[in-house]
Homo-oligomer: A and B are copies of this chain.
Amino acid sequence: MERTKKFMLPETAIPTQWYNIVAEMQNKPLPMINPQTNEPLKAEDLFPLFAEELARQELNDNDVWIDIPDEIREKYKIYRPTPLVRAYELEKALDTPAHIYFKNESVSPVGSHKLNSALAQAYYNKIEGVTNLTTETGAGQWGTALAFASKTFGLELAVYMVKISYEQKPYRRSLMQSWGAQVIASPSMSTKAGRKIITENPTYQGSLGTAISEAIELAMQTPNCKYALGSVLNHVALHQTVIGLEAEKQMEMADEYPDIVIGCFGGGSNFSGISFPFLRHNLKGETHTRFIAAEPSSCPKLTRGRFQYDYGDEIGYTPLIPMYTLHHNFAPANIHAGGLRYHGAGSIVSQLHKDNLVEAVDVNQLDTFKAGILFARTEGIIPAPESNHAIAVAIDEALKAKEEGVKKTILFNLSGHGLLDMSAYDQYLAGDLSNHELKDEELNKYFERES
């Protein structure tokens, strides 16, 4: 009997519905607040910014399952279902009794899970007659995904790319341009928000919060143009549940069930995607799986942030979101995991974390690259610096299982590949990378300034 490495599903098994965990949470997230009215946000409040269907999904706390339109499923076929892979070689290198599985979202043509939501967002905007989109991107994974999604549904796209990533990851810029998108380094002089930030701090290398402000501002000032966000929000997490829904079926094929589920954590999109469908069974009391969000120690919102209402962007254009946050003015260190350089956690994960239903750990940059190199040399795939956080935690848990002498089943999400992040690996191998431990005084100064 041959051993199976990749558990594959047929295209007909691409989920037909997304899973909306909010509808099944006992303690639902606090409502977002409209800062103009100080009232709980209504879907209509979001219509100027987002496609109406996306706004409705954002506030839907009632429907457990939401149908995926055929047009989106048809596009998902380009890369879905993605493989679930048993990491035999990594297990062997660690000499662990743990069984390690990873869901390989890096096989998407844009290199990450981000396409799961990009296709959905582009589709809903298209059918509502929108012609132009704006967005932000950190490392460029979300921007490349939305660039291809926009091209495939016939929309124009402008992307504000965090300046440090614009410089560190030039190939992702090229990718977006190859798919026809405009790319602007953020902070830029093209928006009021950008000009303000550049004026205050001319050498600032940008953050996701700043880029979001710029993208929102451009969308508000452009006719027939809406904004799209790649993480944090509920509708993004919703779209990403295709990851976990497929993984659930694939774990069944492998005749196992995860004791631990791990995802790296920026705003929550891939962590939510891999976790929520499994977490469902914890909510029902059927299972006791652990869920671990892997954060960078330089941007540890869940492990060290405050739970409070905060803006999703630097300037304060978004609604107030109930979240674990490092403060919307927080300027994260220039780590290579650009997709994790965000100050806040989405409101669903924040509530789940508050209720001890998900855990969080932070990992420093050098440990993440060490894990990534071991993974590349055993399993063959160069992981994205973001995904290296999940791998580091998976390795850690596998080593604990070895110490305890127990067989554990560990599942992590390989959110993307790192082929366009090779300069980071160069620096790591040359010994030129360092850690960026966040000091308490640094963390507190933003909140103190306010009070």
Contact = CB atoms under 8 A, between A and B. Distances in A.
A377 B419 contact: no
Interface in A166-200: 170-171, 174-175, 177-180
Given A8-B10, A12-B2, A152-B380, A174 B425 contact: yes
A254 interface: no
Interface stretch (A104-112, A336-344, A355-363, A398-406): A104-112
A407 interface: no
B178 A429 contact: yes
B107 A107 contact: yes
A95 interface: no
A256 B423 CA distance: 44
Contacts of A281: none
Interface in A396-434: 419-420, 422-423, 425-426, 429
A4 B426 CA distance: 40
A113 to B, nearest CB: 15
Copies in the complex: 2
Interface of A: 2-6, 8, 10-12, 74, 77-79, 89, 107, 109-111, 148, 151-152, 170-171, 174-175, 177-180, 373, 376-382, 419-420, 422-423, 425-426, 429
Contact of A171 (B11, B12, B422): B422
Contacts of A170: 422
B11 A381 contact: no
A212 to B, nearest CB: 25
B110 A376 contact: no
A312 to B, nearest CB: 29
A151 B175 CA distance: 30
Given A8-B10, A175-B382, A419-B420, 5 more contacts: A3-B74, A151-B377, A171-B423, A178-B377, A178-B425
Contacts of A174: 422-423, 425-426, 429
Given A8-B8, A171-B420, A175-B419, A148 B380 contact: yes
Contacts of A74: 3, 5
10 contacts: A5-B77, A6-B77, A8-B11, A109-B379, A109-B380, A111-B419, A170-B422, A175-B382, A175-B422, A177-B426
Contacts of A8: 8, 10-11
Given A5-B11, A8-B8, A171-B171, A382 B178 contact: yes
A206 B286 CA distance: 63
Nearest to A372: B178
A381 B109 contact: yes
Contacts of A380: 78-79, 109-110, 148, 152
A380 to B, nearest CB: 4
Contact of A89 (B89, B152, B420, B425): B152
A377 B144 CA distance: 12
A179 B376 contact: yes
A174 B376 CA distance: 12
Contacts of A422: 170-171, 174-175, 178, 420
A170 B77 CA distance: 32
Nearest to A373: B178
A236 to B, nearest CB: 20
Contacts of A177: 425-426, 429
A151 B180 CA distance: 38
Nearest to A378: B152
A381 B180 CA distance: 14
